[in-house]
Amino acid sequence: MHALVERLYPLCRSITGDGVRATLRILDEYLPLRVHEVPTGTQVLDWTVPQEWNIRDAYIADAAGNRVVDFAASSLHVLGYSLPVSATMPLAELRKHLHTLPDHPAWVPYRTSYYKPDWGFCLSQKTLDALPDGMYEVCIDSTLADGHLTYAEHVVPGQVPDEVLVSCHVCHPSLANDNLAGIAVATFLARALAEQTPYYTYRFLFAPGTIGAITWLARNAERVTGALPGRGGPGAGGSVQHGLVLACAGDRGRLTYKCSRRGDAEIDRVMRHVLGASGRPHRVTEFTPYGYDERQFCSPGFDLGVGSLSRTPYAEYPEYHTSADNPDFVSPEAMADTLAVCREAFAVLDRNRRYLNLSPYGEPQLGRRGLYDALGGRSDTKQAQMAMLWVLNLSDGGHSLLDVAERSGLPFGTVADAADALHDAGLIKV
């Protein structure tokens, strides 16, 4: 995963353009992607797909021709979506278009101007302070023209068509934690799920933030919710049952899960349970309508059960949206831990069922069915027996296995194993 972050890091991504396509071509080497191109001007819910932005070169050169700021050195050096510029101007005029971080004088900020025509450069305060007065050549070789917005999907087929949506954004340039670590974790999570036969179908979405998620929702509204906007309410029976947005997935901070708008969606309960049972340092926060694309999936018209998993959340670490968010800032161990939590959570989600006890009058005799004997020799035999009794007692069609695990205090895996044994013995049914 870390090697993938390093490979993707130099590419100049934005909400549209060839940087996104180059990123998706690399990801396609790891897992097959279905790439979608949506033309400029397409109406997507309350938004319109913008013009496509591409950039070839950009620099600020001093009177001697030396490039004091060079896009070739870092894609962060140019204000995202900058208009083309070719001019010579004094430093006093140029300063109006320069962005720095005075509190971190060695770092370069990440800035954009997606929906307001502008141009500019980002540089370290240290570099700016060293510039003498004088004339400077300014060049931004970019294009802003009708084109397409690009996003991609990968589907891991499951036993049922009901879907779990896993989303990450692909619109940031050279930022390793936000967003490349999320891309890497999503990629390897998809590969891991493909090695088994999951219960749910898992749909992975690689799209630019905000406008990409909105475009995907607009193009999938009927399939997602069972009704087009205005023709049905939230939870109208669509195919997306659960979801998770991955972002800031590789720093060394503790894990943070942000709940869906519902607050008690199944993914919220699963993540709370898995993080709590794991003993990992973590934090669970309530939903707010700001952040990453969970706010689009959780908008009231869709109200999907989609939460967000990160380590240190956006804007809560100094390196956020700066050149200090580089591959050295993210660790293989942290990304591996994020991946492991996702796999643990989806394992619970995949096995969480509601059962009905087929012998509900009194406790059925387990011994003559060989259920106790089948567990002989296990170090957790007593725990497994208790799990069977709990599953039988709460299998009234209204309690899920997660309910059983939480009420009994038993590990979810032990409860699910007990349910499998009872089901095989004909004592409960889904």
Six-digit token string for 170 = 């692909």
DSSP letters spanning 353-416: -EEEESS-SS----GGGTHHHHTTT-TTHHHHHHHHHHHHHHTEEEEEHHHHHHHHT--HHHHH
Phi, psi of 156 (to 5 degrees): -100, 110
- Calpha distance 386→378 (Å, rounded): 13
Six-digit token string for 180 = 């490349």
Query: Which residues carry a binding-site annotation for Zn(2+)?
Result: 172, 178, 321
Using CA atoms of 177, 180, 181, 183 in order, give the dihedral in degrees to the nearest 10: 150
What angle do helix axes 412-424 and 401-408 make, rounded to 10 degrees?
Answer: 130
Taking every pair of Cα atoms in the chain, the longest distance, rounded to a whole number of angstroms, is: 94
- Calpha distance 174→18 (Å, rounded): 15
DSSP 8-state class, residue 322: B
Query: Which residues carry a binding-site annotation?
Result: 172, 178, 321
DSSP letters spanning 226-294: SS-TTSS-TTSS-SEEEEEEE-S-SSSSPEEEEPPSSSS-HHHHHHHHHHHHHT--EEEE---S-SSTH
Q: Which of 68, 217, 219 is nearest to 137 (CA)?
A: 68
- Decide: 55 and 78 in contact? Cβ < 8 Å: yes
Residue 349: strand, helix, or coil: helix
- Decide: 273 and 341 in contact? Cβ < 8 Å: no
Q: What is the pLDDT of residues 102-117, one digit of tens each?
A: 999 999 999 999 999 9
Six-digit token string for 164 = 């779990």
- Calpha distance 389→414 (Å, rounded): 12
- pLDDT tens by residue, the chain, 430 residues: 999 999 999 999 999 999 999 999 999 999 999 999 999 999 999 999 999 999 999 999 999 999 999 999 999 999 999 999 999 999 999 999 999 999 999 999 999 999 999 999 999 999 999 999 999 999 999 999 999 999 999 999 999 999 999 999 999 999 999 999 999 999 999 999 999 999 999 999 999 999 999 999 999 998 786 534 433 333 334 589 999 999 999 999 999 999 999 999 999 999 999 999 999 999 999 999 999 999 999 999 999 999 999 999 999 999 999 999 999 999 999 999 999 999 999 999 999 999 999 999 999 999 888 887 654 455 567 899 999 999 999 999 999 999 999 999 999 999 999 999 999 999 999 9
Which residues have a Cβ under 8 Å from the Cβ of 409 and sit 6 or more positions away? none
pLDDT for the residue 222: 83
Radius of gyration of the chain (CA): 25
Helix (H) or strand (E) holding 307: strand 306-310
DSSP letters spanning 128-154: HHTPPSSEEEEEEEEEEES-EEEEEEE
- Calpha distance 320→322 (Å, rounded): 6
DSSP 8-state class, residue 17: S
pLDDT for the residue 227: 39
Q: What is the pLDDT of residues 196-212, one digit of tens each?
A: 999 999 999 999 999 99
Residue 79: strand, helix, or coil: coil
Distance set, CA 61 to CA 54, 68, 101, 120 (Å): 21, 6, 21, 14
Domains of the chain, CATH where assigned: 2-50+148-351 (3.40.630.10), 53-145 (3.50.30.90), 354-429 (1.10.10.10)
